[in-house]
Chains A and B, each alone.
Chain A
């Protein structure tokens, strides 16, 4: 396991379709985060899991967005009825449990384009 893995790397979808992204964190990390990054902006926090529990969600995470981490390992982020404004890079990060001194390791992201 060499790092956080995200699939797919790129996704082009038509407006109104549903999409699902997957994140595989570093195996011993029990914290998992999703961020969204639009062009010219820094990443924005979406949601956070500790093991299988979703502990925090941003107001950015509308009802069309849902994230799961069913067994405390990999996570999925689903966007229903995609809109052009959903076009962005979706980044996943993981970190080990502990104090804030733990580094968050980021994946390479999934770039979503809604046409």
Chain B
């Protein structure tokens, strides 16, 4: 069965500091990996996705993520966090091996201190 682990429930960073959110996945086939962001009362917005090719993927809002197959990880990074980045971040895995659905992690709540 596919699964996603986001070990950090809450993270607090200062504005302008760098950010890394961790994501580990379990999947029996080639994974398709996603990061979504959810602001209060809002739906999920896709930040970036990985299917194949270059293991470092760029997304919107200055985010990037690196796929490391040997570590089963897909960590999200941003070099300089802005106060507007405060939100909840979800990592998700999917693919043809798991049917047409996404399996999400439990999320990481990001707080940004001014």
Is A bound to B?
yes
Interface residues of A, Cβ cutoff 8 Å to B: 4, 31, 33, 35, 40-45, 48, 50, 55-56, 58, 91, 93, 100-101, 103-109
Question: Could you list 16 further interchain pairs (A-B, Cβ under 8 angstroms) beyond the known A35-B102, A91-B43, A91-B44?
Answer: A4-B43, A42-B105, A45-B103, A48-B99, A55-B100, A56-B99, A58-B101, A100-B95, A100-B96, A103-B49, A104-B102, A105-B46, A106-B44, A107-B43, A108-B42, A109-B43
Task: Report Cα–Cα, A106/B103, bound state, in Å.
Answer: 14
Residue ID in chain A nearest B51 by CB atoms: A101
Closest residue of chain B to A33 (Cβ to Cβ) is B101
Say yes or no: A103 contacts B46, CB within 8 Å. yes
Tell whether B74 is near chain A: CB-to-CB under 8 Å: no
Chain B contact patch, size range: 20 to 34
7 closest Cβ contacts across the A-B interface? A42-B104, A106-B43, A45-B101, A106-B44, A108-B43, A100-B32, A43-B104
The reply on B25 being an interface residue by CB < 8 A is: no
| Distance, CA A93 to CA B103, complexed state (A) | 14
